[in-house]
Chains A and B, each alone.
Chain A
């Protein structure tokens, strides 16, 4: 099978701090991959490599190569904005813009210069349905997104990401700020999104990784310790460290 995302010997430094060490991995189309590991092990850093969000950090430096659809995304010729349209991101804390729900969802289209009202309306309806809050918000699309609950906000943020039709969606602990019910709806959503998207999700919640992902990668101190089938990794880990981590016998 052809891999969607392929990382080769990736190293990341923040100044002199070596935070990703010789990581190589492949992720395939339409699979959900979970990243787990203790705090500070580099999960977010690695995730943000995939749409070059680390570029904004002044001390950031990276070695190695990452291919998405066979393109080296750190190549000089790559257009970063184009890449980020293709590789969408959902953040830990819901971060809607202080604009209406409608304007939040169509933001990505507006910055591409799309003005056609009918097209925008369609996208809003489709994506809000996709994330399952169309019924809740369809009468108040012009109200501020900030007035929604945390779980609703996060779903609007996901709709906003989906509106530009990415093929990869990165999620950095998307439910850590949410209550169990909102969490469950978002997990369900991830399950449905799988058929159209490739999804990489960072989570501290082992059950969540088990529920939503096909394969799981365990990071420890910047290294990729184990990367295998989720069931396999949780029931029959090959590496001792993984075993210790998933059973909570750490340190």
Chain B
């Protein structure tokens, strides 16, 4: 008898230890980012980091201003969200409220396929398909630019927005739709006056997660945006994002412990802070919203 009890306790311990790994991961991330970037900030002041408009750690005349990378990240993400949110939300509304079941059955899995495609493949499309296509209409578009990877990133994020918004719409009780139709409202009026307001927190969550996802996207921009840290919001010229910079340094022969090496951790912590804030906002909205639902 005590033997089985011992065994049960031991197994529970193993399971709990596995659950602990996620905590270690978080601690690990924080530790690594903080310790390496503390070293960085010993050599570069935070003020310079946040206000200098140039980022040239790999040149002889070094500048360490995160603004160009930040503008690149914001610009591509903005374009992506501009594509992903309206289309994703429309898809959610269409699939939930309008489409016949048969069409839904075909279209939904196809969208899931879109979500399963590796990002490096999307990068290829941005570089080889979308940029040349856009150049037909915008002759001044550089071969590397923010527009094309932004659009492709948006396409990649569509399934995320669509599926989260769809869950939110799906959770609205049918009785509210009945009440609205019963008063002579059309579907469209029901969608905009009842469903979207009622699902607003879920939809906001989907938008925040889309932004966070766009901030962290790496390969599409690394392949198609040009890796040039320009402090600009012009979508037609080459830019560099925080993530791409990390890739760029990782590809070169940067000596460990050098200031160049530490810059990727400084860039990393900027990215981490941005996404961490967004993820937490969305997490708490979702928690609150679940309670409200029941």
Contact = CB atoms under 8 A, between A and B. Distances in A.
Contact between A and B in the complex (any CB pair below 8 Å): yes
Interface of A: 51, 53, 56, 58, 81-85, 88-89, 91, 93, 95-99, 107-108, 110-112, 157, 160-161, 164
B194 A85 contact: no
A88 B182 contact: yes
Given A107-B193, A111-B193, A97 B185 contact: no
B2 interface: no
B175 A93 contact: yes
B45 to A, nearest CB: 50
Contacts of B189: 111
B94 to A, nearest CB: 16
A97 B186 contact: no
17 contacts: A51-B182, A81-B186, A84-B181, A84-B182, A85-B184, A88-B183, A89-B182, A93-B175, A97-B194, A98-B197, A98-B198, A99-B197, A108-B185, A111-B183, A111-B193, A161-B182, A164-B183
Contacts of A110: 193
B184 A95 contact: no
B254 interface: no
A164 B182 contact: no
Nearest to A85: B184
Contacts of A53: 178, 181-182
Interface in B158-176: 173, 175-176
Given A58-B101, A97-B194, A98-B198, A111 B184 contact: yes
B179 A91 contact: yes
A191 B180 CA distance: 25
A96 B180 CA distance: 10
Given A112-B184, A157-B179, 11 more contacts: A53-B178, A53-B181, A58-B101, A83-B184, A85-B183, A89-B178, A95-B175, A97-B180, A111-B185, A160-B183, A164-B184
Contacts of B181: 53, 56, 84
Interface of B: 100-101, 173, 175-176, 178-186, 189, 193-194, 197-198
Centre residue among A85, A97, A110 by max chain B CB count within 10 A: A97
Contacts of B176: 95, 97
Centre residue among A53, A88, A107, A160 by max chain B CB count within 10 A: A107
Contacts of B182: 51, 53, 84, 88-89, 91, 161
Contacts of A98: 197-198
The 9 closest A-B pairs by CB, nearest first: A85-B184, A95-B175, A84-B184, A108-B183, A89-B182, A81-B184, A95-B179, A111-B185, A111-B189
Contacts of B175: 91, 93, 95
A85 B182 CA distance: 8
Given A53-B178, A110-B193, A111-B189, A97 B183 contact: no
A111 B189 CA distance: 7
Contacts of A107: 180, 183, 185, 193
Contact of A95 (B178, B185, B197): B178
Contacts of A85: 183-184
B24 to A, nearest CB: 42
Contact of A91 (B178, B185, B193, B194): B178
A56 B193 CA distance: 19
A82 B189 CA distance: 14
Nearest to B175: A95
Nearest to B102: A58
Contact of A81 (B179, B185, B194): B185
Contacts of B180: 97, 107, 111
A120 B266 CA distance: 58
Contacts of A83: 184
A52 to B, nearest CB: 9
Nearest to A86: B184
Contact of A82 (B178, B179, B184, B193): B184
Contacts of B100: 58
A170 B25 CA distance: 60
B16 to A, nearest CB: 40
A110 B183 CA distance: 11
A161 B178 contact: no
A98 to B, nearest CB: 5
Nearest to B195: A97
Given A93-B175, A95-B178, A108 B184 contact: yes
A67 B100 CA distance: 29
Centre residue among A53, A81, A97, A111 by max chain B CB count within 10 A: A111
Centre residue among B179, B183, B186 by max chain A CB count within 10 A: B183
